């Protein structure tokens, strides 16, 4: 049997099919979300086909035999090669009221071989009504595919239609069930699936949120998965024109699988149908995500006036943030959400399940780093972060940001359960208590209390959009961006004012040096702080050159939050060591950020690469790639609250007061310790 994508575009037999819309009309815009009516599940095309099938199944048995005879080979003689009965008096094309025409007699001769209709359907004499209805459904699908083959303009799609046409026609002849054969393999084609990956994403990034906000995320996830299931993939030829450097051969295989298992079965229900999100994984999602994201957001903006108010906020405000965060996980090389063992860990932290997926919460951060992955090899390229990432989401070379809302590490997710572990049901119950403001009492319920982490206020300001973080740098290869240059000038001024002992010319030279980058802290459109650094990827470390926050913005947690963002940025770029020369006034700050005088980087790695400063102390910091630094204090605080609640529950259980022992009054000299009430719980 020919495989999908094999040679051949003609079709034989089944020419009486009614003209209908092609399920993948040629020339459709790449990745177009809106389909023609005939393609859309539940649209006029598929509804019309379903209506015809229902009509035919309700027809008399003789009419059913006539219909099946058209696709049944003649059995009158072994030498007869007729592969289908042909009516000597064919109805007009297209037929107007086919089922109202007179029923053809079984003795009616075939126009091709002259043998009676009965000779073509003799194998159906003892077939049940249910089986006959199944075969009739395949017949109508064959006729539909026949018209698709002739209407389709794209060669790759036409070949798949023709393959499926022949497959279904063979099923009628052999009374079998359609099975796609060849090199396509059977679904699922990749693990974890898109659905599982998105579920992992929700669990990984948002499981720490209150239930109401998490439910918003869940709704967005469902919306996204539903869009993928009904998304119309661009043809391989269209993709070749749009992205000539992509792996077109690999994409063509996935496109063929999608047509055979997901797209065509939506309107040819005799073929087994699978959801795109359940049988495909990260590879297909990567190939469609940027185009799909751009077009979804464009469509939302165009139709915003038609949306109800509650949906408008969800789609126009939360959905773009959700897609931006998911995009980083889709294209990240090290994202844990695509690890097949991910859910082992999430079972410890409260599993959402893919049924409860998507909708970015109001607190989900939209900040992102847009430094290109190639910036490590091309240090001269200037980079911008937050805003640029969103505005140029279709650029496949965009870099990735570390997850800002990662509540749990991958080590936790992969760690097997240990005897004595606290039951997950109890953890979930306690979590629901500590995330409910009405249920929490005491000083630690207030985020900004005396017990808050140093960076708590800064984190909240970032979530509200008061402050932003951008990785910026000068470039010799690109035309200077006015905003970036203004920020670089602002950074130079902040460093000069806050580091008066450092020559201003030296600060200017390094800030504007293309080999250096600076993580800028922006508030109300102006620079209020930053960390200037130079990355040495080949040596495995980064040198922190300047670090400062303007004096009137200090003691607000900005310095800690800046350093945490810098740590996450470097984890994304797989550089896990910081080195810096700290003067006597900065040693305390760096110690709070995890730096020490115990340098983990071998001396041979950094000698000759960084400048030695007189009167300064060399300090280093080793990063742990499993720690989400920008959320670390939140996680620790939650763990502390969980332990506190568990202790309170345990204390409530053991506060029972037992009466004193009276046995010694009766002359008993000793008793087993386990017999004393309250010593060993019953």
- Which residues are annotated as catalytic? 543
Short-list 369, 25, 346, 104, CA closest to 206:
346
Left if phi > 0, otherwise alpha if psi is -120 to 50, otherwise beta: which for 337? alpha
- Tell me the sheet residues that pair with 544: 533, 580
| Residue from 31, 480, 471 nearest 230 by CA | 31
The interaxial angle of helices 558-572 and 456-463, nearest 10 deg, is: 70
The CB-side HSE value for 631 (13 A sphere, CA atoms) comes to: 24
Tokens of 418: 């240990």
553, burial (CB in 10 Å: exposed 0-12, middle 13-18, buried 19+): middle
- Give the contacts of 162 (CB within 8 A, at least 6 positions apart): 2, 8, 9, 10, 11, 149
For the record, the structure tokens of 364 come out as 């989900």
Residue 262: C-alpha distances to residues 254, 385, 578, 661 (Å): 11, 38, 49, 74
User: What are the angstrom distances between the C-alpha of 48 and each of 14, 17, 225, 272, 564?
Assistant: 18, 13, 27, 20, 59
Going by DSSP bridges, is the β-strand pair 541-549/577-582 parallel, antiparallel, or unpaired?
A: parallel
In whole angstroms, give the CA distance from residue 491 to residue 476: 19
Q: What angle do CA 539, 545, 550 make, to 5 degrees?
A: 150
Which of 623, 508, 513, 486 lies closest to 565, judged by CA? Answer: 623
């Amino acid at each position: 049997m020919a495989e999908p994508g094999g040679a051949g575009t003609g079709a034989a037999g089944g020419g009486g099919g009614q003209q209908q819309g092609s399920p993948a009309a040629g020339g459709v815009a790449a990745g177009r979300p809106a389909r023609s009516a005939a393609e859309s599940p539940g649209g006029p095309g598929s509804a019309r086909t379903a209506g015809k099938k229902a009509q035919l199944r309700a027809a008399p048995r003789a009419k059913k035999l006539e219909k099946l005879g058209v696709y049944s080979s003649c059995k009158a003689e072994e030498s007869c090669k007729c592969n289908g009965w042909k009516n000597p008096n064919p109805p007009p094309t297209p037929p107007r009221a086919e089922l109202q025409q007179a029923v053809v007699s079984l003795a009616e001769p075939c126009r091709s071989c002259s043998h009676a209709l009965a000779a073509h359907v003799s194998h159906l004499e003892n077939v049940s009504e249910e089986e006959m209805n199944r075969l009739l459904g395949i017949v109508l699908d064959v006729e539909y595919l026949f018209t698709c083959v002739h209407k389709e303009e794209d060669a790759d799609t036409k070949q798949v239609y023709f393959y499926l046409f022949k497959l279904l026609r063979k099923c009628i002849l052999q009374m079998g069930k359609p099975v796609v054969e060849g090199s396509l393999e059977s679904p699922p084609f990749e693990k974890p699936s898109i659905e599982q990956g998105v579920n992992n994403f929700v669990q990984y990034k948002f499981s720490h949120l209150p239930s109401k906000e998490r439910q918003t995320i869940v709704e967005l996830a469902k919306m996204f998965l539903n869009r993928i299931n009904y998304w119309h993939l661009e043809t391989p030829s269209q993709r070749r024109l749009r992205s000539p450097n992509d792996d077109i051969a690999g994409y063509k295989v996935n496109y063929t699988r999608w047509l055979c298992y997901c797209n065509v079965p939506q309107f040819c229900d005799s073929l087994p149908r699978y959801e795109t999100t359940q049988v495909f994984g990260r590879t297909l999602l990567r190939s469609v995500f940027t185009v799909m994201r751009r077009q979804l957001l464009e469509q939302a903006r165009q139709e915003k006036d038609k949306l109800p108010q509650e949906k408008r906020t969800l789609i126009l405000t939360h959905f773009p943030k959700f897609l931006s965060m998911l995009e980083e996980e889709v294209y990240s090389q090290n994202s844990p959400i695509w690890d097949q063992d991910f859910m082992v860990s999430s079972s410890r932290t409260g599993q959402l399940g893919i049924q409860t997926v998507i909708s970015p919460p109001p607190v989900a951060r939209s900040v992102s780093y847009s430094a290109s992955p190639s910036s490590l090899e091309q240090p001269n390229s200037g980079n911008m972060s937050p805003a640029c990432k969103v505005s140029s989401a279709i650029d496949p070379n965009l870099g990735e940001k570390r997850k800002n809302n990662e509540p749990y590490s991958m080590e936790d997710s992969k760690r097997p359960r240990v005897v004595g572990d606290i039951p997950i049901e109890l953890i979930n119950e306690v979590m629901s208590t500590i995330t409910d403001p009405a249920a929490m009492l005491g000083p630690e319920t207030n985020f900004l209390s005396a017990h808050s982490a140093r960076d708590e206020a800064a984190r909240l300001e970032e979530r509200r959009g008061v402050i932003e973080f951008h990785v910026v740098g000068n470039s010799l290869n690109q035309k200077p961006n006015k905003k970036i240059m203004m920020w670089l000038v602002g950074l130079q001024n902040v460093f000069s004012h806050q580091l008066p002992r450092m020559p201003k010319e030296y600060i200017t030279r390094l800030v504007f040096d293309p080999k250096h980058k600076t993580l800028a802290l922006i508030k109300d459109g102006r620079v209020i702080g930053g960390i200037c650094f130079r990355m040495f990827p080949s040596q495995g470390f980064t040198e922190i050159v300047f670090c400062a926050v303007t004096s009137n913005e200090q003691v607000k947690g900005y310095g800690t939050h800046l350093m945490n963002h810098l740590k996450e940025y470097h984890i994304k770029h797989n550089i896990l060591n910081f080195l810096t020369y700290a003067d006597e006034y900065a040693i305390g700050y760096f110690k709070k950020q995890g730096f020490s005088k115990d340098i983990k980087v071998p001396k041979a790695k950094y000698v000759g690469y960084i400048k030695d400063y007189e009167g300064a102390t060399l300090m280093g910091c080793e990063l742990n790639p499993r720690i989400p630094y920008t959320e670390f204090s939140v996680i620790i605080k939650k763990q502390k609250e969980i332990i506190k609640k568990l202790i309170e529950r345990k204390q409530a259980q053991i506060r029972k007061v037992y009466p004193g022992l009276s046995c010694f009054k009766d002359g008993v000299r000793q008793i087993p310790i386990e017999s004393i009430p309250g010593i060993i719980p019953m």
